[in-house]
Amino acid sequence: MTLWEMLLAHNTRVVLTGVSLLGVASGVIGVFMLLRRRSLMADATSHATLPGIALAFLVQPLFGFSGKFLPGLLLGALFTGLLGMLCIQAIQRVGRIREDAAMGMVLSVFYGFGICLLGIILRMEQGASAGLKGFIFGKTAAMVTADAQLIAWAALFILVLVMLTYKEFKILCFDEGFAGSQGWPVRLLDGLMMGTVVAVTVIGLQAVGLILMIALLVVPPAAARFWTDRLSRLLILSGAFGGFGALLGGWISVTAADAPAGAVIVLAQGVFFLVSLLIGRRRGLIQKALRDQALRWSIRRQHVLRTFYEALEPRATPEDKTLSRLPFSTLLQARSWTRFRLGLMLLHMKWRGLVYRHPDGSWGLTRDGWPEAARMAPNHRLWELFLIHYADIAPARVDRGADRIEHVLGAALLEELEALLQQEETRVPLSPHPVHWGDGI
């Protein structure tokens, strides 16, 4: 049987469709859990579903159903999952216990109770063939059309619910106190959100199992967070990562005979996270390194420009300042630069058109460089003024502190400091660096 025939097979299409829709729904609702810092709540509730599955298997024959009746098993999982969530909130509010401790207690107690019930079921006559262990590790390959349809309807319901309550969930995630002060039903919204998480967890038991279900709720939102800070885009990206990751994992499990589908789906989600961690446009490591490097070059460039300004400031006219030059040795002693770093910076600034090099080896500011230097020095002095007035730092010691923070000066604060500078009687030193500039060239 060729790969193409395998992909066109009915069972394969059912599996891929089911896990993809599950990935989309999990990724979307997982965003709100990530923003509320409740990602591990999904892990606790997923483990809390195990005793519900076992109890449903034991109770269903009393009502004339088979113990393996899937809707009944899922209803049992939903019941104990919601019960576990309510227990976490009750322990946290009544017992004044931290949320992480409450989740740890509920997770361990409910899961332990479920394992005990499974032990009882396995000793029963029909227990060995019940297949309940599949809910722990997942049984994606055994998914049938009815399972895929159930996941599809549940995912559609969750997506519609998120669209209808988008504004309410958004304000709940970012400012719960403000939502309560405005009369929003915070507890009701919180319960609705957590109930949606439990519902996604329950429908995902067939695909990846209760142990790995946490990955579908946590990994796609975490991966999407590296690309954007806007909630609407975060929801779209997280749903896309969840869906494509599940589809990729399902496809790999189809092509590799011995690959467990649930584990491969989680590994595929991990690949999406790793790629986002490295090249994410907003928070990726590579982008962060590039931004940090650009900031360092900008700071060094500003320091060089300010050094030129302080040396050339006594010149009579802007033309004199532009035509005047400084020897390389004079620039070198202004700060703790190395020859290599200063030379590299000057070449960089020459490429940007801010400085020029004379044949005799001296350096001067271009007509574009002088206005830039004239902007840098006043900013530095305004920061010195700010530190003297508000941080109680002596004028003789203020220069180093201003060097570190002047590059983040905002426009509003600049206007305030400029107004303060006009009223200032004490003159801030032009340059605390003990450098003899000489007359220049």
CATH 1.10.3470.10 is the classification of domain 3-264? yes
Looking at the chain, which residues constitute the CATH 1.10.10.10 domain(s)?
Answer: 290-423
pLDDT of residue 266: 85
pLDDT of residue 224: 92
- The mean of the pLDDT values for the chain is 77
d(CA 120, CA 383): 73
d(CA 52, CA 80): 5
Q: Which of 52-66, 74-88, 377-391, 401-415 has the lowest mean pLDDT?
A: 401-415
CATH C-level class of 290-423:
mainly alpha
pLDDT of residue 1: 47
Closest CA to 429 of 301, 302, 298, 313: 313
Global pTM reads: 0.74
Tens of pLDDT, residue by residue over 32-50, are 888 888 777 777 888 888 8
Show the tokens assigned to 287: 């982008």
**What is the three-class DSSP state of 85?**
helix
Show the tokens assigned to 250: 């399902």
Q: Mutual orientation of helices 39-59 and 99-122 as an angle, nearest 10°? A: 30
Buried b (16+ CB within 10 A) or exposed e, 115-145: eebbeebeeeeebeebebeebbebbbeebee
Looking at the chain, which residues constitute the CATH 1.10.3470.10 domain(s)?
Answer: 3-264
In sign, the C-alpha dihedral spanning 64, 70, 71, 73 is: positive
**Cα–Cα–Cα angle for 82, 84, 87, nearest 5°?**
110
pLDDT of residue 390: 65
Given a contact cutoff of 8 angstroms between Cβ atoms, the answer to whether 376 and 304 are in contact is no
- Name the residue type at position 422: Q
Q: What is the arithmetic mean of pLDDT over 190-209?
A: 80
Q: What is the arithmetic mean of pLDDT over 284-304?
A: 85
Closest CA to 41 of 90, 86, 85: 85
